Amino acid sequence: MTYLETWRLRAEFARRLSDLYGTEVPAYTTLVDVSQRVNAKVLSERGASAERLGSIGRVTAERHGAIRVGTPAELAQVARIFGALGMSPVGFYDLRDAAPRPIPVVSTAFRPTAAPELAKNPFRVFVSLLVPEDGRFFDADLTRRLHAFLSRRRLFPDELLTLADSAEADGGLDTGRAARFLDLAVAAFALSDEPVDRGWYQELEAVSSVAADIGGVTTTHINHLTPRVLDIDELYREMSRRGVEMIDEIQGPPRWDGPDVLLRQTSFRALAEPRRFRDADGTVGSGELRVRFGEVEARGIALTTAGRNLYDALVAEVDRRQPGSTSPRQDVARQVWSEHMPRTERELAAGDLAFFTYEIDGTRPLDGTAPPAGLSRLLAEGWVVPRPIVYEDFLPRSAAGIFSSNLTSAGAVTDTGGGVHRDAEWMSAAIGRRVQEPGELYEAQRAESLRQVAAGLGLDAIHLPGDELSSVAGGRTAHGGVR
C-alpha cells in the first residue's frame, strides 16, 4: 500500500489508539476480550439477526473515544485532526445543567456521517470543551487564571496539524507521511509524564474533577475508549464475575424483548494511575490520579423526533415511579416500556418513531395492484421492507451519568453566578465547521432510500405516516412528502 485514504487513516488511528490505551489501562484489554467473547456468543446463538444493526466486522472494530479540551482554539485544532480522518462534528450536548451532577463542559461528537464510511469504520470521539467563563462554576479570578493557563499550553504540534490539513485536502496521505501523521496523532492523546502542579490541580478539583482533568494539566489524553457489545447485560455480569467493579447500572433504555433503540452504556470506575506532581516548593514527587475509566456500549435504532419524545416521556415516567419502588431502575423501566413502547420494528416504522431505510420487497407476488403512495400502506401491504438505521450518536443523560460516576470530588456549583449561553451555533463558530444535527443525517438517509423506492415503484413521492394522517384530516399532503 503506497497511499492511505481517509477511511484507512481512521481505521489505523483507532487501532493504534486502542493498542496505546491497552498498554496504559490494562483493564481495557480485559474489557475488549470480554466484549469479543460476548459478541461471538451472540453471533453463534442468534445467527444473522445478530448482525441486523451492523456486521460483526464493523462491531468488532467499533470504538468511541472521549477527550476533553480547554479552549475553542484547541477544539478547532482537534477538528482538523479528526477532519483528516473523515470525522466531522455532530450533535451538541450541554452538560452544565445535567443530572445527577452538572459538569462544566459542552460537547460534540466527531464521526463519519455517510453510511458507506460508517460501514467501513465508524470510529467516533466524544469531545468536551471546558467553559471557564461559566460563573456558576468559576469565579472571575479563577476564570482569568484558567484562561491564562490554557493560553500558554500547546496540545498539538504544528507538524501534526499541517499533515492533518493536507490529508483532509487530498483525501489521504502517502505511506511515509501517513506513518508520521499517525505517530504524532496517537502521541498527542497519550498520558503525559509532565509533572502536574499539585496546588493548581487541587484548586480546580474542588470545583470539578473534570475541570482539573482539563485545565489542571498541560496536555490532553484519551479519557476512555469504548468497545461495542451485542449483549451488554451479559458483559456486565461477566465483568463483575471477573472482579471488575462496575457502576450501579446500565444507562439508557432497559433490556426488554422489543427492538433495541438508541444507546445503552455502562462503565467501571476510574483506575488510579501514577502521575508526577510538582509541589509549591518546586520538588517533583509521585502521586496518583483517578481520571480514566472503562466503558462499553450497545447500540440500537435511531429514533425520529416523535420517537425521541416518546423515549423522553418514558424516562420521565420511570423517574416518577422509581422513588416509590423497591425494584432496580431497569426493572421499572422494563415495565414502563412494555406498557408504551412498540414491540416490533414494523410498528416503530409505521408509527414514524424510528429511522429505517426501505427497499422494495422483491418477493411480493405481482398481483396487478398499483402501489399506494403512503409508507404505512406500503409496509402493511408488503411492498417494502424496513432496515434499521443505527443510532450513531450519544445521549446527554447517559453522558452525564458516565461523567458523574467517575468523579473524585463532589464539586462546587452555585446558582448565583451567571451561566453563559452556549449552543450548536456557538460551537460551529468556535470550530469553524458546522455542527450537524444527528436527526438531519438520519432523515437524509431515509429520504434517499424512499426516493429510490419511489422511483422503482413508479411513484412521484412517498408520504411518511405523519403526513398521511394530516392529509386524511384535510392537511398538507405534499408537505413533508419525500420526493
Residues near Ni ion, by CB under 5 A = 66, 226, 295
Q: How far is the CB of 217 from ligand OOG (least distance, A)?
A: 14
Residue 223 binds to ligand OOG (criterion: CB under 6 A): yes
How many residues line the site for ligand OOG (CB under 6 A)?
12
Alpha carbons within 13 angstroms on the beta-carbon side of residue 231 total 20
Q: Which of 18, 77, 128, 304 is in the footprint of ligand OOG by CB under 6 A?
A: 128
CB-nearer residue toward ligand OOG: 297 or 467: 297
Q: What angle do CA 50, 52, 57 make, to 5 degrees?
A: 70
Residue closer to ligand OOG by CB (options 108, 445) is: 108
Whichever of 35 and 223 has its CB closer to ligand OOG, that residue is 223
Q: Distance (Å, rounded) from C-alpha 343 to C-alpha 358?
A: 19
Exposed, middle or buried by CB within 10 Å (0-12, 13-18, 19+), for 130? buried
Cis ω before 100 (30° cut-off from 0): yes
Alpha-carbon span 116 to 86, nearest angstrom: 12
CB of 101 to ligand OOG, least distance (A): 12
- Binding status of residue 6 toward ligand OOG by CB under 6 A: no
| Minimum gap (Å) between residue 293 Cβ and ligand OOG | 8
Give me the least distance between CB of 376 and ligand OOG, in Å please.
Answer: 34
Q: What is the rounded CA–CA span in Å between residue 152 and residue 223?
A: 22
Is residue 266 at the binding interface for ligand OOG, with CB under 6 A as the rule? no
Compare residues 296 and 482 and give the one whose CB is closer to Ni ion.
Answer: 296
**Minimum distance of ligand OOG from residue 399's CB (angstroms):** 3
**Closest distance between Ni ion and the C-beta of residue 262, in Å?**
14
Q: Nearest approach, Cβ of 99 to Ni ion (angstroms)?
A: 18
Instruction: Find where cell 490505551 sits.
Output: 21
121 binds ligand OOG (CB under 6 A): no
SS3 328: coil
Residues 6+ apart with CB under 8 A from 370: none
State the pairing for strand pair 3-5/172-174.
antiparallel
Q: Give the helix/strand (H/E) hosting 122.
A: none
Nearer to Ni ion, 66 or 79 (CB): 66
Q: How far is the CB of 64 from Ni ion (least distance, A)?
A: 6
b (16+ CB within 10 A) / e for 93-103: bbbbebeebbb
- Which is nearer to ligand OOG, 14 or 66 (by Cβ)? 66
CA distance 275 to 197: 11
Select the residue whose beta carbon is closest to ligand OOG and give its number: 399
Instruction: Choose between 68 and 228: whose C-beta lies nearer to ligand OOG.
Output: 68
Nine-digit cell at 349? 416504522
Query: Would you give the binding string for ligand OOG spanning residues 377-406, x where CB under 6 A is met?
Result: -----------------x---xx--xx---
φ, ψ of residue 409 in degrees (nearest 5): -130, 155
Which of the choices ligand OOG, Ni ion, none does residue 399 contact, using the CB cut-off of 5 to 8 A by kind? ligand OOG
DSSP-assigned beta bridge partners for residue 286:
276
Nearer to ligand OOG (CB atom), residue 213 or residue 231: 213
For residue 196, give the nearest of 102, 104, 293, 273 by alpha carbon.
Answer: 273
Q: What is the DSSP letter of 462?
A: B
- Residue 42 partner contact from ligand OOG, Ni ion, none using kind-dependent CB cut-offs of 5 to 8 Å: none
Which residue in the set 10, 63, 68, 136 belongs to the binding site for ligand OOG (CB under 6 A)? 68
**Which of Ni ion, ligand OOG, none does residue 223 bind to, with CB < 5 to 8 Å depending on kind?**
ligand OOG
- CB atoms near residue 21 (< 10 Å): 26
376 in contact with ligand OOG (CB under 6 A): no
Separation CA 468–CA 405 (nearest Å): 45
Cβ neighbours of residue 397 under 8 Å, at least 6 residues apart? Answer: 98, 99, 251, 315
Query: In the complex, what is the shortest distance from the CB of residue 470 to Ni ion, in angstroms, rounded to a whole number?
Result: 39
Residue number with CB closer to ligand OOG (149 or 394): 394
* Residues of this chain that bind ligand OOG (CB under 6 A): 66, 68, 126, 128, 223, 265, 295, 394, 398-399, 402-403
